[in-house]
């Protein structure tokens, strides 16, 4: 789903551990809020949320939201709860509403009886219901008569500081709160929206300020009246989410004052980052890890960031993921330290055994999150630097480390507190298959594209073993192969190499603008989008014969892609004979392609 979920945020801090750039102020010198005033968690404890988006998808796919689908997933939540998985909230995501109902009525015929049965069954089972709203933009929604004096010239969004929209919107939130809704998600905010008169007489900066102030004040009053409510901000509240190669600090800065009214800030739906990986799902992990780090560097405490990354689902939003690599994705989502932990997608795909595993890792991390001592370490994920997340309590520590590079790398596991004792002997608790990570004192060595989880102290016990992720196989060895690519036409590069013996060949192509910036190509979403294997083409020939190339990126990707990766298996290669590699992009704008080749052994 091409949207951004932003949650409100912390102070302009001097955070040496987060890697905050020296002198970083991001045009917010006036926002000298303290961490204790704005940055610490507003929730009493970490929470677990189920959101039904990606079981349906009405933006990057054509799967509708219905009452039957909603109730089916509620039954699945209750099944998983019996196995020990914790769910505190069930959020109804986008487009539950009648387009002409001003957020007061539900869409028919999908909801012939309205939401009462869903709300009641949630409450009867100790689950709080929540609702999604498109803030002040008209997405699958028509302007109600009482909003029209707030409309912008284009008729796409409403001003929040003039006219009847915002007062009516807040009354609608109260209407749903009075009927049992306890969590509200705010998406697609347009802080530049203004009536034609204001747009002609005010600067863009003044309009943004007045919209922000109006919404902040209104939500603050709503919170005072309803102190147990949970509010989360999604798209439109600052930051950059399209890629992992954008300049930092953000061109569109995060206004940290939002922390006064929101409990968390979303930092982007899962999508491939600009770090190429043979396993497509790992690059989604790297994207979310990178976004988490950048929002932390912007002053947002980890507790207040929702990375919205755990989406095992069947729709276009999640690229038909199903349960692929779900265990590593879940561990990373929990390890990042956010206090709103959201599960999306098709819960019916999880077996009873899956549910018990889910419950074990969730129980561990909800405890570690509540201790409030989770830290990032290492480099910046999007800069292809090994990194990780460490959690600490009085009994021990747990580290999750990731190596995004196409090489074997060693990463130091730092102490997380001045009072923390030396790490001592650790235990590998979880890893990808293939390469066996090596622990040595306070460091871990990982294979290319690998993640691993390590426990120390109490958490070095066998009781915390979470196994091996068999569907992600990491090479046991990797070495670069000299390959000199030259342009042979528009969007085409080629190299000829002697085929090396004793391994598979990994091929990597990356796409850049003429000025050297990574460039993503968007080829649409389901059902009419084009698979990326027809946009980025990898070809290998030897002796007049085209060799098969295994590709994991060849899928419809609504969020765009800047790279292609494939592998030629050793059995298909004749050692020593010349091998010609041709990489092509059908991107229409001017581009530069770069190619790399590696010898990998599994």
Which residues touch 5 (CB under 8 Å, ≥6 apart)? Answer: 185, 187, 232, 233, 234, 235, 265, 266, 267, 268, 269, 306, 308
Where do you find CATH 2.60.120 in the chain? 479-601
Angle, in degrees to the nearest 10, between helices 116-124 and 67-82: 10
SS (H, E, C) 18-61: HCCCCCCCCCCCCCCCCHHHHHCCCCCCCEEEEECECCEECCCC
Instruction: Point out which residues pair with 310 in neighbouring strands.
Output: 343
CB distance 451 to 282 below 8 Å: yes
Q: What's the confidence (pLDDT) of residue 519?
A: 97
Where do you find CATH 3.20.20.70 in the chain? 41-372
Measured distance CA(183)–CA(176) in Å, rounded: 10
Tell me the backbone φ, ψ of residue 581, rounded to 5 degrees: -110, 130
DSSP-derived pairing of the beta strands 451-457 and 396-402: antiparallel
Q: What's the confidence (pLDDT) of residue 441?
A: 86
Q: What's the confidence (pLDDT) of residue 227?
A: 96
Measured distance CA(398)–CA(372) in Å, rounded: 13
CB distance 57 to 317 below 8 Å: yes
Instruction: Point out which residues pair with 509 in neighbouring strands.
Output: 564, 595
> If DSSP codes are grouped into helix, strand and coil, which group holds residue 283?
helix
CB distance 13 to 25 below 8 Å: no
Measured distance CA(157)–CA(211) in Å, rounded: 12
User: Which CATH number is associated with domain 377-470?
Assistant: 2.60.40.1180
Tell me the backbone φ, ψ of residue 364, rounded to 5 degrees: -60, -50
Tell me the backbone φ, ψ of residue 101, rounded to 5 degrees: -105, 5
Q: Which parts of the chain register pLDDT below 70? A: 1-40
Where do you find CATH 2.60.40.1180 in the chain? 377-470
CB distance 575 to 531 below 8 Å: no
The CATH number for 479-601, chosen from 1.10.10, 3.40.1350, 2.60.120, 2.40.50, is 2.60.120
Measured distance CA(507)–CA(541) in Å, rounded: 13
Measured distance CA(242)–CA(288) in Å, rounded: 11
Measured distance CA(597)–CA(448) in Å, rounded: 14
Would you call the peptide bond into 527 cis, given omega within 30 degrees of 0 as the criterion? yes
pTM of the model: 0.93
> If DSSP codes are grouped into helix, strand and coil, which group holds residue 361?
helix
CB distance 119 to 181 below 8 Å: yes
Measured distance CA(258)–CA(241) in Å, rounded: 18
Domain 41-372 has CATH 3.20.20.70: yes
Q: What is the CA radius of gyration of the chain?
A: 25
Measured distance CA(413)–CA(452) in Å, rounded: 12
């Amino acid at each position: 789903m091409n949207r951004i979920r932003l949650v409100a945020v912390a102070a302009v801090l001097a955070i040496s551990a987060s890697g905050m750039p020296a002198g970083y102020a991001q045009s917010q010198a006036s926002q000298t809020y303290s961490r204790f005033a704005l940055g610490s968690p507003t929730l009493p404890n970490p929470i677990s949320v189920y959101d039904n988006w990606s079981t349906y998808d009405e933006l990057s796919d054509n799967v509708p939201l219905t009452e039957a689908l909603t109730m089916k997933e509620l039954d699945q939540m209750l099944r998983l709860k019996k196995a020990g998985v914790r769910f505190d909230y069930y959020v109804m995501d986008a487009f539950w509403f009648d387009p002409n109902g001003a957020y007061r009525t539900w869409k028919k015929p999908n909801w012939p009886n309205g939401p009462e049965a869903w709300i009641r069954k949630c409450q009867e089972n100790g689950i709080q219901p929540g609702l999604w709203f498109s803030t002040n933009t008209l997405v699958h929604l028509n302007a109600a008569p009482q909003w029209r004096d707030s409309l912008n010239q284009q008729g796409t969004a409403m001003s929040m500081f003039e006219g009847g929209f915002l007062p009516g919107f807040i009354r609608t939130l109260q209407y749903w709160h009075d009927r049992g809704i306890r969590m509200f998600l705010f998406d697609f905010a347009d802080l530049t929206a203004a009536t034609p008169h204001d747009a002609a007489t005010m600067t863009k900066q003044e309009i943004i300020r007045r919209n922000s102030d109006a919404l902040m004040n209104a939500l603050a009053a709503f919170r005072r009246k309803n102190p147990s409510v949970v509010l989360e901000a999604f798209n439109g509240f600052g930051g950059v989410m399209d890629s992992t190669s954008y300049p930092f600090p953000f061109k569109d800065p995060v206004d940290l004052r939002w922390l006064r009214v929101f409990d968390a800030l979303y930092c982007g739906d899962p999508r491939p980052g600009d770090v190429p990986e043979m396993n497509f799902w790992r690059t989604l992990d790297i994207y979310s890890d990178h976004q988490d780090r950048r929002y932390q560097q912007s002053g947002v405490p980890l507790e207040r960031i929702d990375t919205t990354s755990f989406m095992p689902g069947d729709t276009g939003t999640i690229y038909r993921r199903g349960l692929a690599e779900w265990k590593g994705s879940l561990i990373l989502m929990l390890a990042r330290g956010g206090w709103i932990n959201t599960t999306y997608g098709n819960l019916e795909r999880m077996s009873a055994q899956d549910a018990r595993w889910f419950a074990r890792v969730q129980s561990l991390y909800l405890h570690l999150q509540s201790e409030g001592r989770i830290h990032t370490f290492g480099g910046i994920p999007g800069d292809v630097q090994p990194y990780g997340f460490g959690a600490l309590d009085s009994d021990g520590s747990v580290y999750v480390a990731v190596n995004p590079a196409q090489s074997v790398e060693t990463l130091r596991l730092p102490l997380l507190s001045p009072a923390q004792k030396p790490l001592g002997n650790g235990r590998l608790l979880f890893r990808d298959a293939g390469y066996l990570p090596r622990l040595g004192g306070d460091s871990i060595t990982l294979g290319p594209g690998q993640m691993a989880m390590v426990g120390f102290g109490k958490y070095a016990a066998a009781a915390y073993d979470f196994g091996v992720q068999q569907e992600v196989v990491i090479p046991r060895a990797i070495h670069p192969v000299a390959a000199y690519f030259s342009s042979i036409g528009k969007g085409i590069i080629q190299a000829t190499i002697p085929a090396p013996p004793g391994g598979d060949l990994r091929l990597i192509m990356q796409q850049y603008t003429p000025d050297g910036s990574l460039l993503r190509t968007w080829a649409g979403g389901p059902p009419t989008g084009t698979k990326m294997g027809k946009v980025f083409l990898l070809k290998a020939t030897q002796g007049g014969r085209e060799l098969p190339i295994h590709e994991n990126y060849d899928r419809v990707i609504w969020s765009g892609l800047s790279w292609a990766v494939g592998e030629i298996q050793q059995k298909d290669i004749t050692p020593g004979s010349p091998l010609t590699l041709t990489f092509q992009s059908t991107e229409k704008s001017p581009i530069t392609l770069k190619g790399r080749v590696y010898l990998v052994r599994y």
